[in-house]
Amino acid sequence: MKTLAAYIATEIERELRAGVWKHCAIYEKELQRIWPLDEKDREAKITQFAKEYGFRLVFYKEDLCAIFDKEPLSN
């Protein structure tokens, strides 16, 4: 999971520097490596992963992808 988190962070930072999208999409093929399709509470587990690594799950569609962005800083 650390490898996935590092990849997401790198992609978000790269996009921020380029001034384009500020998110990272991870497609189903990659998601299944950690969270099989038949896993109970899959979306909740992906959401928890995002929170643990300072991201936010902003979109999830089974059989398609999960889109992450950076968790906004609290004031």
Per the domain annotation, does 8 fall within a domain?
yes
* Averaged pLDDT for residues 37-46: 95
Per the domain annotation, does 50 fall within a domain?
yes
**Distance (Å, whole) CA 38 – CA 41:** 9
| Structural domains of the chain, count | 1
* Residue 19: band (very low, low, confident or very high) from pLDDT cuts 50, 70, 90: confident
Query: Residue 73: its pLDDT value, please?
Result: 57
CB 35 within 8 A of CB 46: yes
* Averaged pLDDT for residues 10-36: 90
What is the residue range of 6's domain? 2-70
Residue whose entry in the numeric block shows the structure tokens 């959401």 = 47
Per the domain annotation, does 75 fall within a domain?
no
* Averaged pLDDT for residues 31-40: 95
Question: Which residues, other chains included, contact 67 with Cβ-Cβ below 8 Å and sequence gap of 6+?
Answer: 23, 24, 25, 26, 57, 58, 59, 60
